[in-house]
C-alpha cells in the first residue's frame, strides 16, 4: 500500500470548483500550508471551506480569500482577517458560524458514520433556530448533523506511506477529526518516514483515514500571537 504522492500539486488533483473542503488547524497552528499554496495556484473557486478559523490576511486560508476562491466559510471564529471582514460585510462571502465543540464533533460524526447527535451547546441561542430540541436528563439539547467534505486536507508532523499520521503539540487540534470526515483525505507531513518507524501504539490517525500523503516542501509555521515572559534576573 503506497499513498505517497510527489507534492502538493499532485495531492490536490481532483479538487474542483464548488467543492466542500475541510482544512485542519487552529488559528495558524497545524494548517496544511503547502496544500493551501497549491490550491491558490490552481485558481479553483466557489469553495466551501470547513475550518475552525479563516487564517490571517496573508497566510493560511487568507490566501484563498484574497483570490476570492472561497464562497462560504464554516467556522467557529474568524476574527483575524481584514479581507475576510470586507467580503463578509459586502455579502461576497457566506459565513456559517458553529460552536467549536459542535464543529469538532460534527466532523468526527461525519467520519464515524453517526449522521446526527444531540448536544447542549447553543440551546436557547440563534444557533438553535430551526433545530430539533429534546430534553435529556432534564436539560435541553439540540440535534446537530454530521459534516463531511469532498476533500479533507490535514497537516501532520510525521507520516508513512500507509497514511498513518502523528501530530505534534497543539498542532493536532482539528486535524484528526477532519481526516476521518473527508471522502478523500490528503495529509501533508513535515517528515515522511518508513512504515514501521511509527510505533503502532502512538499513531494518532490510522492510515485508513488517509488517501494521499506527501512531505511538504517547507513549513513557515507562522506564530499568530507570540507571547513570552522575561527571565527573572
Partner 1 sequence: MLDRNSIAKRIAQELQDGWYVNLGIGIPTLIANYIPEGISVEFQSENGILGMGPFPFDGEEDADLINAGKQTITAMSGASIFDSATSFAMIRGQHIQLTVLGAMEVAQNGDIANWKIPGKLVKGMGGAMDLVASADNIIVAMMHTNRKGKSKLLKRCSLPLTGVGCVKKIVTNMAVLDIVEGGFKLIERAPGVSIEEIIAATEGHLIVEGDIPEMTF
Interface positions with its own copies (CB under 8 A): 105, 109, 112-120, 134, 136-137, 141, 166-169, 172, 200-202
Q: Which is nearer to partner 1, 45 or 145 (CB)?
A: 145
Shortest distance in whole angstroms from residue 186 CB to its own copies = 22
Burial 53-77 (b: 16+ CB within 10 A, else e): bbbbeebbbbbbbbeebbbebbbbe
Cell representation of residue 44:
479553483
Least spacing, CB of residue 41 vs partner 1, in Å: 24
Give the residue ranges of DSSP H helices in 97-198: 100-112, 175-181
14 binds partner 1 (CB under 8 A): no
Residue with cell 477529526: 177
Closest CA to 50 of 87, 79, 24, 80: 24
Output the smallest distance, CB 135 to its own copies, in A: 9
Q: Which does 192 bind (CB under 5 to 8 A by kind): partner 1, its own copies, none?
A: none
- Interface positions, 146-175, toward partner 1 (CB under 8 A): 157, 160-162, 164, 167-175
**Taking the complex as a whole, how short is the minimal distance between the CB of residue 121 and partner 1, in angstroms?**
4
Nearer to partner 1 by C-beta: 174 or 214?
174
Neighbours of 100 (CB within 10 A): 16
CB 223 to its own copies: min, Å: 19
- 16 touches 47 (CB < 8 A): no
Grid cell for residue 82: 481584514
Site map (CB under 8 A) of partner 1, residues 105-124, x = contact:
x-xx-xxxxx----xxxxxx
Amino acid at each position: 500500500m503506497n499513498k505517497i504522492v510527489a507534492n502538493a500539486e499532485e495531492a490536490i488533483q481532483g479538487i474542483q470548483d464548488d467543492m466542500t473542503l475541510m482544512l485542519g488547524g487552529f488559528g495558524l497552528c497545524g494548517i496544511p500550508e503547502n496544500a493551501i499554496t497549491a490550491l491558490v495556484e490552481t485558481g479553483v473557486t466557489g469553495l466551501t471551506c470547513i475550518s475552525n478559523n479563516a487564517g490571517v490576511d496573508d497566510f493560511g486560508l487568507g490566501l484563498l480569500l484574497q483570490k476570492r476562491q472561497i464562497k462560504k466559510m464554516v467556522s467557529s471564529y474568524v476574527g483575524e482577517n481584514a479581507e475576510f471582514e470586507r467580503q463578509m460585510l459586502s455579502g461576497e462571502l457566506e459565513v456559517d458560524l458553529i460552536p467549536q465543540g459542535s464543529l469538532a464533533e460534527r466532523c468526527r460524526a461525519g467520519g464515524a458514520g453517526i449522521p446526527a447527535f444531540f448536544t447542549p451547546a447553543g440551546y436557547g441561542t440563534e444557533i438553535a433556530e430551526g433545530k430539533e430540541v429534546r430534553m435529556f436528563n432534564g436539560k435541553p439539547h439540540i440535534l446537530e448533523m454530521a459534516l463531511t467534505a469532498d476533500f479533507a486536507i490535514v497537516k501532520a508532523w510525521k507520516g508513512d506511506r500507509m497514511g498513518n499520521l502523528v501530530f505534534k503539540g497543539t498542532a493536532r487540534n482539528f486535524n484528526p477529526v477532519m481526516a476521518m470526515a473527508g471522502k478523500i483525505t490528503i495529509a501533508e507531513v513535515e517528515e515522511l518516514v518508513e512504515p514501521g518507524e511509527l510505533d503502532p501504539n502512538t499513531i494518532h490517525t490510522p492510515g485508513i483515514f488517509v488517501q494521499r500523503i506527501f512531505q511538504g516542501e517547507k513549513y513557515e509555521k507562522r506564530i499568530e500571537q507570540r507571547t513570552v515572559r522575561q527571565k527573572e534576573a
